Structure 1
Amino acid sequence: MDENSVERPLLLSRGAERVKKTPLFVSWAKWILKFVIWVIFLSWVALIFFIPAEFVNEAFEKWAQLTSGTVFGITGSIFLVFSGPVLIIAFLSIAYLLISGEEELHERKASTKPRFRLWTFPVLVDGPFGVVSASELIGIVLFVVYVIWAVYAYTTQILSVISQSQLTLKQKSCFILEYLGLRFGTIGLYCLAFLFLPVARGSVLLRLIDIPFEHATRYHVWLGHLTMQLFTLHGLFFIIAWTIEGDLLQEILEWKDIGVANLAGVISLAAGLLMWMTSLHPVRKQKFELFFYTHQLYVIFVVFLALHVGDFIFSMAAGGIFLFILDRFLRFCQSRRAVDIISAKCLPCGTVELMLSKPGSNTSSPQFCSFLVYLFLPYLILFLLDNVDLRYNALSFIFLQVRELSWLQWHPFSVSSSPLDGKYHLSVLIKVLGEWTEKLRGNIMNSSEADLHLQPQTKMIAFVEGPYGHELPYHLMYENLILVAGGIGISPFLAILSDILHRTREGKPCLPRNILIVWAVKRSNELPLLSTNDMESICPFFSDKLNLEIRIFVTRESQPLLEEGQVHEEGQLHEATNSSPPMSDSYSMSVLVGTGNNIWSGLYVISSTLGFVILIYLLDIFYINPYDISSWWYKGLLFVICMLASVFIFGGIVVGLWHLWERQNAAKEACKDDGIMVEKMQNHEIVAHKDLCQQKLVSSTNLYYGSRPDFKGIFGDISEKWGCVDVGVIVCGPPTLQTSVAKEIRSHNIRRQCHHPIFHFNSHSFDL
């Protein structure tokens, strides 16, 4: 690779002069919002961390008593302290996202000196947590320290009380067990406050810190194990105490009006244990459908938890649960729309390519407008009328359902096309591995055969959730990229290549100029996947602007095979595909998604939250206080009903208006043109130059048969070739591949010399 072939980053090349610097007041607004968010978050975490301390707990109880005489009572006091900060941060996050737009990408420049980053430095690469970065390890340690500290603080308190009491050994044992069981439940509630935040796919909180859902699910898994361990100890300690007292059956079946309802707690814990057991890795890996269906018991778990502890204790964890309900309702509304399958292709390697219809992309840059619409209603109206967009980037993914195959199963797939590939379509590559994907391929093949014989086609109707993913396309922020793929893991990297080539052609902000693709496949029949992108038609003369090298490792073949008269020679990556025509006559993907229009999604969150406060206020004023409703379990049920009603009613109104706005703009787009297929460039100069570029691409593509990637040698070679720079490494493949790459990155970063690069590990694998 000739390091002098590209003299400067693409960000500084043509088109860079169009990048405008962010106005000063917008920068100040962003800084203030960030500062306030951090203050609120750290204060909230500090309260949860130190509340086991006796003096903090006493201060909080005094404050709760002082505010208990208000309209919302003690429930309002606890909700404001423990759940209010999460919702306030969500509001501020909406404002931050509105005024940010893409200027962070526009203003990002390649750093002159490489530096380590906690998020991309792998620390643990083996073990139950998988590959863990330095930031993630800090988070794990903090949670573990919190649990140990809380158990220590509560144990100290109970021993102090026991030492001053005159009780028998049996009474002391039962008292200690029940008190510790109660405190384990309290600690579990604090962990529950975080548990639902990572699984809200379009959450503004995840978008604020730019952690996509596929990464956040691992945090949900870790928190789920910790939370269920605490709740299990909570229930176990009480069961042991009740057994010692001889009242086990009576206590389990007890349902108090004043106090906790034990039977409701038993039902909630049973649902939680069933979800927990079926989510363990061996069960989840072998029986995914069992895991998926039993995980829907979270509804039973949450509702009966509220019945068990009542409204004021449940409000400790209500903030995160409420944001999850908001996201779940929006996903439900989006996924009701059938989506056009523009085309379907069955590749010989056993991979299916689907092209789905999406609304027209809006490439305008609304940062300045976004700030104004947040302040002034007239600008809001103009913004809503002028901006129609389904926001995503090349590293996004979607959830896909095909009802001809299953009415319940949703499967995640990485997007294999760039947002710039076409205004009206989005593509995914699906590897045929299981029963669902095998049925999908069979239906497509049957449809093609029916069309050949002039018979009615077997129609398939697709439903889509998403796209989801990173808020900013971080692959564009590295001047040097290493893309490591295993098998179908090449799919998102095709989107990355396409995205970089489009931006290079159009002069959009884009840093990458040195790209190395390392791809490990089992058989050579998978090689045609790389040719699904016609790079020369996307960006003529791209080889003069990018240093692109491709290393392909065919692990289960020792030499090129001769199949049906076609030799898979080095660099020959094309192979025929079997395609089918459009298979449905419905609509494009809905933009009702949390990562879509920031204005509408912000209004949805704000209106639902205000609606919840209004419903609780009306309930207290006209029902609970006048009729002296005091049953804990009943008030807990009313609290949950208000949460749901606020989302369905107040949020539903916004979603309905959003949907009407979407349909109106979709009709406008349809009137302009049908715009389904991507336009092909027809330039004689390009055609004349194409053969030369193909030759350059072939010369930069190396095929290795019968071997696996030697990452030690690859990273060592790159260290000498690229020098002292930041290198972004993105891995998409099985856990073993991620572990191998992470080990080498950690090793090279620890032992690096001053003239060697710093490698930054990024995983793009979705593994539930």
Structure 2
Amino acid sequence: MEISKSNNGGSSPSSGDEFQGMIKGVTKFLMMVIFLGTIMLWIMMPTLTYRNKWLPLMRIKFGASTYFGATGTTLFMFMFPMIALACLGCVYLHFKKRKSMHHNDRETKGGVLSALRRPMLVKGPLGIVSVTEIMFLAMFVALLLWSFITYLRNNFATITPKTAAAHGESLWQAKLASAALRIGLMGNICLAFLFLPVARGSSLLPALGLTSESSIKYHIWLGHMVMAIFTLHGLCYIILWVSMNEVSEMIMWDTKDISNVAGEIALLAGLAMLLSARILPSETIELTFSKNPKLVYTPTSILFVNIPGVSKVQWHPFTITSSSKLEPEKLSVVIKKEGKWSTKLYHKLSSSDQINHLAVSVEGPYGPASTDFLSHDALVMVSGGSGITPFISIIRDMIATSQNQKCKIPKITLICAFKHSSEISMLDLVLPLSGLETELSSNIDIKIEAFITRDKEARSEAAMEKIKTLWFKPSLSDQSISSILGPNSWLWLGAILASSFLVFMIIIGIITRYYIYPIDHNTNKIYSLTSKTILYILVISVSIMGTSSAAMLWNKKKHGNVENKQVQNVDVPSPTSSPTSWGYNSSREIESSPQQSLVQCTNLHFGERPNLKKLLLDVEGSSVGVLVCGPKKMRQKVAEICSSGLAKNLHFESISFSW
């Protein structure tokens, strides 16, 4: 793609940029049409118009086929729109990624959109919630109530004492059975959206500017709705069966229709889930991997890590602290000793200096498709403890941008709180071991306010523990981290989605026509719903595995020599740094190095907590991006300040690992 340079050092759109912009616009329009059409379908579903006019017509067109049967209507109504949205999202993200690699657009913050993103609720069971999130939650609840009330009203109109007696029921029992069924249908709406927020490889979330981590709370909200609705659904049926002396229905397993036992098992399993976490003051590890220079990722991305020497089955997500711009051939994550897995890893690495090799498998990175940090005049990042890790990647990315691109960098203020002075060593991770050889660029303005809450003064240099760096020797089988689908990964993902759906339809059509259809129509038996469901799951799994494996092998053959080069064994000395540079004897002459330049920008505060209100309101700029990652009370306090109206220039964004 060509970019024509203007006289003032900027860039003017070329024909290639205009074409990409047109593709993005058309893609967004098609996605909006399909999305609104799907919402309209959900709204109309409980109505008599849908039941008496739309549904019979769709069953004639899609449900009467000998190749798909009644399932054809379901595939057309629910599966096809989501596949189409996902494929279009892949196309949109591909062109958006290409543009973001060459442009850094600054947008003016403010107005209605800024107001909608402000926190509306700070404390409560929903956590920190913006105006936009409240609006969408209210609309979703309205959809549930509309569906339930409409279903109930239309069905109650057909229930009379005569029709109830024909089924051996009284009038209230007939109405209770109808209400129980409609409650279950309302729960199905929640189930349809339940797993969309946490799909790591989804193209829908990045297209909306979201990540699976930032959408975990939506998954939790939907999960609670599902459990509440289906619990009520089950209780209604139990009351009905008890009143009719048909308690034996609770142990019925119908192979042709819905199984009561399976539903009861699923409900009890859901009710048995409990969630707990414990944070312990402990040491920190930074793992650095070799990566392919063509693999790029945005700040705040995460990487899933598996270390067979610690556990062969456990995968844990960690925030990436490195920047693909500043360190094109390295990728780093920070791990704090908090649970059994991380404690075992810490002891494994710290107990001996003789470890020559550490086998690690990774998945990712996963992160937002793009970030808008450059659109602000200033950035304020508030962290508590290990919450500093996502901000390390942001700072490194800003440093790289200031060196390589001619654009205005926001003024950066990092407000970090630690319990003990030994944790100041986390600040040594703000800059990488390599990647910077001279002092920080004059184009970047960084200020660090570090608060040590439980220590009154810095520990003596003798008592401070130095950071120990271990260098592992790679084995012949080690490979650098690279994109498994090559440089055009979003397009390949769209191709996998489309082709796997097509393969699924072809296989299901053949099986239905030559195996299921003869059983249903040529014998007295009916092919069971349970067997059909298992068959569908098996076929779609095989389709996805087959198409994705073919795409992976194709890209490996095409880009294998470049993408999967072996990690080279580099014999370098093991540098060590000490947190004493941040506190003890810090008045010594500042050397001309990036690390010491950063020390000069740091103010240490012992025995006190940050006055967040004063620190935030003192930041100047027409648009100030405020990010927070840390304990719940800290996130709530920052959100409360940003939503108070005391400063119109503060734009809040929470980065959290627990909701």
Q: TM-score scaled by structure 1?
A: 0.75
State which of 137, 155, 158 in structure 2 corresponds to 1:158.
Answer: 155
CA distance in 1, matches of 2:511, 2:487: 33
CA distance in 1, matches of 2:531, 2:315: 35
Distance 1:106 1:591 in 2: 20
The residue type equivalent to 1:486 in the other structure is G
> 2:19 corresponds to which residue?
25
Partners of 1:595 and 1:194 in 2: CA distance: 30
1:193-225 Cα distance to aligned partner (Å, 9 max, x none): 111111210111112112111112211111111
Q: Deviations over 1:476-501 (max 9, x none)?
A: 33231111111111122121111111
Secondary structure in structure 1 of the residue aligned to 2:215: helix
1:435 paired to 2:340: yes
Structure 1 residue 591 corresponds to structure 2 residue 489:
no
**Structure 1 residues 594 and 60: CA distance shift in structure 2, 3 A:** farther
Q: Is the 8 A contact 2:6 2:12 kept in 1?
A: no
SS at 1:223 equivalent: helix
2:107 counterpart of 1:217:
no
Given that 2:104 and 2:374 are in contact with CA atoms closer than 8 Å, whether structure 1 keeps it comes out as: no
8 Å contact from structure 1 (residues 392, 595) kept in 2: no
Opposite residue 293 of structure 2, the aligned amino acid is S
Q: Deviations for 1:275-333, whole angstroms, at most 9, x for unmatched residues?
A: 4431xxxx311599xxxxxxxxxxxxxxxxxxxxxxxxxxxxxxxxxxxxxxxxxxxxx
Q: 1:253 aligns with which of 251, 254, 270?
A: 251
The count of corresponding residues between Structure 1 and Structure 2 is 627
- In structure 2, do the counterparts of structure 1 residues 135 and 86 end up closer, same or farther at CA, with 3 Å as the change threshold? same
Extract unaligned runs of 5+ from structure 1. Answer: 1-10, 289-347, 363-389, 452-456, 567-574, 681-687
Partner of 1:633: 530
**SS of the residue aligned with 1:400?**
strand
Comparing 48-57 and 603-612, the one that deviates more: 48-57
Query: Contact 2:303–2:319 (CA<8 Å) still a contact in 1?
Result: yes
Q: 1:128 aligns with which of 125, 131, 136?
A: 125
Whether the 8 Å CA contact 2:418–2:453 is kept in 1: the answer is yes
8 Å CA contact 1:102–1:472 kept in 2: the answer is no
User: In structure 2, do the counterparts of structure 1 residues 543 and 356 end up closer, same or farther at CA, with 3 Å as the change threshold?
Assistant: closer
Where do 1:450-489 residues align within 5 Å? 451=354, 457=355, 459-489=357-387
8 Å CA contact 2:86–2:494 kept in 1: the answer is no
Q: Please name the residue that 2:182 is paired with.
A: 183
Which among 707, 720, 736 is matched to residue 608 of structure 2? 707
Q: Which residue pairs with 2:143 in the alignment? A: 146
The 5 A counterparts of 1:325-404 are 350-358=283-291, 360-362=292-294, 390-404=295-309
Q: Please, what is the CA RMSD of the aligned residues? A: 3.3
Aligned to 1:488, what secondary structure does the other structure show? helix
> 2:510 is matched with which residue: 618, 641, 645?
618
Paired residues of 1:732 and 1:738 also in contact (CA < 8 A): yes
Fraction of identical pairs, as percent: 30
Tell me which residue corresponds to 2:466: 576
Q: Which region of structure 1 is more displaced relative to structure 2, 43-52 or 457-466?
A: 457-466
Give the structure 2 partner of residue 761 of structure 1. Answer: 652
- The answer on whether the counterparts of 1:53 and 1:153 sit within 8 Å (CA) in structure 2 is yes
How far residue 351 of structure 1 moved from its aligned partner, in angstroms, is 0.9
One-letter amino acid of the structure 2 residue matched with residue 162 of structure 1: I
Q: Which residue of 2 aligns with 1:308?
A: none
The Cα of 1:675 is off from its aligned counterpart by 8.1
**Equivalent residue letter for 2:286:** E
5+ long unaligned stretches in structure 2: 521-525, 576-588
Moved more, 541-550 or 160-169: 160-169
2: CA distance, partners of 1:140 / 1:706: 42
- Residue 56 of structure 2 corresponds to 62
| Partner residue of 1:642 out of 533, 539, 545 | 539
- Distance change (3 Å), C-alpha of 1:446 and 1:593: farther
Q: 1:465-516 CA deviation, whole Å, 9 max, x = no partner?
A: 21111111333332311111111111221211111111111126x5533111
Letter matched to residue 34 of structure 2: I
Contact 1:391 1:597 in 2 (8 A): no
Query: What residue is the counterpart of 1:297 in the other structure?
Result: none
Q: Partner letter of residue 466 of structure 2?
A: A
**C-alpha distance in 1, partners of 2:314/2:119?**
33
Find the counterpart in structure 1 of residue 97 from structure 2.
101
What one-letter code is carried by the residue in structure 2 that aligns with 1:620?
A: T
2:209 is the counterpart of 1:277: no
**Aligned partner of residue 383 in structure 2, secondary structure:** strand
Residue of structure 1 aligned with 2:395, choices 497, 520, 541:
497
Structure with higher helix content = 1
> For 2:536 and 2:616, how far apart are their aligned partners in 1?
56
Counterpart of 2:299 in structure 1: which amino acid? A
Query: Corresponding residue for 1:603?
Result: 495
Distance 1:609 1:555, change over 3 A: same
Q: Aligned partners of 1:727 and 1:105: how far apart in 2?
A: 24
Please, which moves more after superposition, 584-593 or 67-76?
584-593
Answer 1 or 2: higher relative contact order, Cα 8 Å, separation at least 6: 1
Task: Classify 1:13/1:245 alpha carbon distance in 2 versus 1 (closer, same or farther; 3 Å).
Answer: farther
Q: 1:565 to 1:173 in 2, by over 3 A?
A: closer
Q: Is the 8 A contact 2:298 2:368 kept in 1?
A: yes
The verdict on how the C-alpha distance between 1:649 and 1:42 changes in structure 2, with shifts beyond 3 A counting, is same
Give the partner amino acid of 1:603.
A
Change (3 A) 1:166 1:513: closer
In 1, are the aligned partners of 2:320 and 2:390 still within 8 Å (CA)? yes
Q: Look up the equivalent residue of 2:275 and give its one-letter code.
A: R
Return the TM-score normalized by structure 2: 0.87
Whole-angstrom CA distance in 2 between matches of 1:608 and 1:350: 45
1:362-403 deviations in Å (ceiling 9; x for gaps): 2xxxxxxxxxxxxxxxxxxxxxxxxxxx33122111111222
Q: Are 1:557 and 2:455 counterparts?
A: yes
